[in-house]
Amino acid sequence: MARTLLAVASRFTPYATGILCLMAVAPMPVDAQTVTGQDRLSFSRPSAAAKAPDQKARKMVIGFHVNSIDEIDWKNSTFRSDLYWWIRYPEPATEVEQARIEALEFVNGDVENGPGKVQEKKRLVATNEIYISYRTIARFHFEPDFRKYPFDRQRFPIIVEHETLPAADLVFQDDADSYGRSGVSEALWGLGSSVRVPDLEVTRVVREFSNHEYKTNFGDPQANSATGFSRVELGIEVKRRFVPYLVKILIPLFIILLLTYLVFFVPAQELEVAAGLTVTSILACIAFQFTLTTNMPDVGYLMTSDRIFHLSYLLIMLAMAETVWTFNLEKSGEIKLSKRIEAWSRIVYPAGFILGMLVIVAEGLSG
């Protein structure tokens, strides 16, 4: 029996040895959980790069110089801007890390080929920093507010944020020292002296630094459910030069309301003539309002200009009501009362228009 077992073992020994050799050289399966952030694509949102617990967020100094603001499209809520902007940050250890740090984006801008054209890039020996300046020409989106049009104030924002690094890794800082050397008023820091916005007057420029939080992990199961990114917003605040707009509105309205005012001098028995004047006036007023708002976006609230037209509609309606009233009074024989009402209407009608306009304009200028 022993001899038989030895014979069987000797026959299968070469096969067993081969299987063991194959098992030794075959690659072991890799668990998906063992793949680290370094093995994945570096530029992903949110950032999954490992960070030492005691490592502080890198500080990046950022500044702006706006050359122009033009091509304002109120209907599509966009404007075009040409600007220089720059960053400074501590020199990183590797070029890969440097490329990652410089991955910035305009949150509300349509820019082709990255953040813009690099004007200059150098290493500052004295401070051991990297300095980069860009020039960007882009179309930016904004949210206009026409509640007080034509007395409205608008804000044109330019928002910069890092593509991947959260606020725990990178924080923006204002380059106040650079602005201070320009000799420009602090209210206009970041704005070029040649900037002229059509029909608008720049009141001030604000630079707001915040931590913008996204309530999502962007589909990355290894990331938190919310990620905050450092954000800087350069806001150019403007107000409309309202006098030309107000004149454009008031002169045609004055002519329309003057036609309506003539009904107070038409004999009460001439109802058809008076009705023709008021109907023509209200149709002209509607057409004028429609023409005025053609180039403006559809909004779900009343503008100050709408209140001016509503005042005009009210006065035209009251003029028509007064005409019908006096006509019926004369028909019933109360001629003296009819004449007295017409005399008072000639005073109350323009007074009502002036008083109403003063209230509307005061409300529009307030705030």
> What's the pLDDT tens digit per position in 131-142?
999 999 999 999
What percentage of residues in the chain have a pLDDT greater than 90?
A: 58
- Is there a contact between 296 and 146 (Cβ–Cβ < 8 Å)? yes
Contacts of 342 by beta carbon, 8 Å cutoff, 6+ apart:
264, 268, 322, 326
pLDDT of residue 297: 83
> E strands, the chain, where?
58-73, 78-90, 104-106, 109-110, 117-124, 129-141, 153-162, 170-174, 200-214, 227-240
The predicted-structure confidence for 166-214, as pLDDT tens digits, reads as follows 898 999 999 999 999 888 899 999 999 889 988 899 999 999 999 988 8
pLDDT at site 218: 78
Quote the mean pLDDT of the chain. 83
pLDDT given for residue 333 in this prediction? 86
Total residues found in the chain within this entry: 367
Q: Is the pLDDT at 53 greater than 70, yes or no? A: no
Quick count: other Cβ atoms within 10 Å of Cβ 61? 17
Q: For residue 217, what pLDDT is reported?
A: 75
Residue type, 190: G
Helix (H) or strand (E) holding 297: none
Based on C-alpha coordinates, what's the Rg of the chain?
Answer: 37
- Higher confidence at residue 265 or residue 8? 265
Percent of the chain at pLDDT > 70 equals 84
Looking at the domain that runs over 58-240, which CATH code has it been given? Answer: 2.70.170.10
pLDDT at 367: 65
Span 295-319, average pLDDT: 91
Q: Which CATH superfamily is domain 243-365 in?
A: Neurotransmitter-gated ion-channel transmembrane domain (1.20.58.390)
In the chain, CATH 1.20.58.390 sits at: 243-365
- Looking at per-residue confidence, does 228 or 157 come out higher? 157
Gap between the Cα atoms of 194 and 190, Å rounded: 12
Q: What per-residue confidence (pLDDT) applies to 214? A: 84
pTM for the model: 0.77
Which tens digits make up the pLDDT trace of 96-129? Answer: 999 999 999 999 998 876 778 889 999 998 889 9
Is there a contact between 325 and 341 (Cβ–Cβ < 8 Å)? yes
User: Where exactly does CATH 2.70.170.10 map onto the chain?
Assistant: 58-240
pLDDT of residue 223: 72
Q: How confident is the model at residue 154 (pLDDT cuts 50, 70, 90)?
A: very high
Phi, psi of 163 (to 5 degrees): -70, -40
